[in-house]
Amino acid sequence: MIPGAERIFVALDVPGRAQALALVDLLAPAGCGFKVGLELLAAAGPDLIEELAARRLRVFVDVKLHDIPNTVRGAARALAARGASLLTVHIAGGREMIAAALAGAREGTAPGREPPRVMGVTVLTSLAGTMLSRAAGVERGPADEAARRARAGRDWGLDGVVCSPLEVRSLRRLLGPEALLVTPGIRPAGAGAQDQRRVATAAEAVAAGADYLVVGRPVREHGDPRAALAALAAEVVRAGDR
């Protein structure tokens, strides 16, 4: 186990099952969780979630559900049955859809297990500045829109939100200590942002109040993924000790 790694989910954004399991085998002893997103789910199918859960690994299923309530309820039910620890929905889907996701997550959970934490996506980390207005016709800036959606998600019963590290501090104040805050867009100091715009280091995100960090390419594409994970975990520990 690597101290601090328990607060990191490594994104398995790879094209197939073999690549995903190779990364899991390498990094699971460190104590991190793993994120299964749309690319891997489409390539390997939901059996992979069940396989990881059977190994007692924490699986963050990041599919950003956004559909009519009945469809979302069924999808959440199926993902909970597979063993998801966390799953995501778009808060923009509205109150009824969120209620359906929460109901489905409870219905699909096996007896004696905790239902997955249902997390609301606020604003994608790939959007910044006026991009939100151009992409979705939203006149507010990303930070204001993230706060509006986070407040709605809390009122509708979500366990927490997924937000950029730049909004963590303000959303922690807004939502209080009980809300779970998960932050993608984590980059090592000095690394490029790539296709994400609103990014920060692991230390900055934790110091601002993040509970969990999602890290993909900085670990996955590193020459030594375990060393890259250990370096990020060390940042988490140092930030938590401040």
Q: Could you tell me which residues come within 8 angstroms of residue 130 by beta carbon, excluding any fewer than 6 positions away?
A: none
CA distance 60 to 84: 6
CA distance 169 to 158: 19
**Both tokens of residue 208?**
């601002």
Q: Could you tell me which residues come within 8 angstroms of residue 121 by beta carbon, excluding any fewer than 6 positions away?
A: 64, 88, 89, 90, 91, 161, 162
> Which residue in the block uniquely carries the two structure tokens 């909970």?
80
Residues 160, 210 contacting (CB under 8 angstroms): no
Catalytic residue among 35, 64, 149, 198: 64
Q: What would you measure as the largest C-alpha separation in the chain, in angstroms?
A: 47
The verdict on whether 35 is a catalytic residue reads: no
Q: Could you tell me which residues come within 8 angstroms of residue 90 by beta carbon, excluding any fewer than 6 positions away?
A: 64, 65, 66, 120, 121
The residues carrying an active-site annotation are: 64
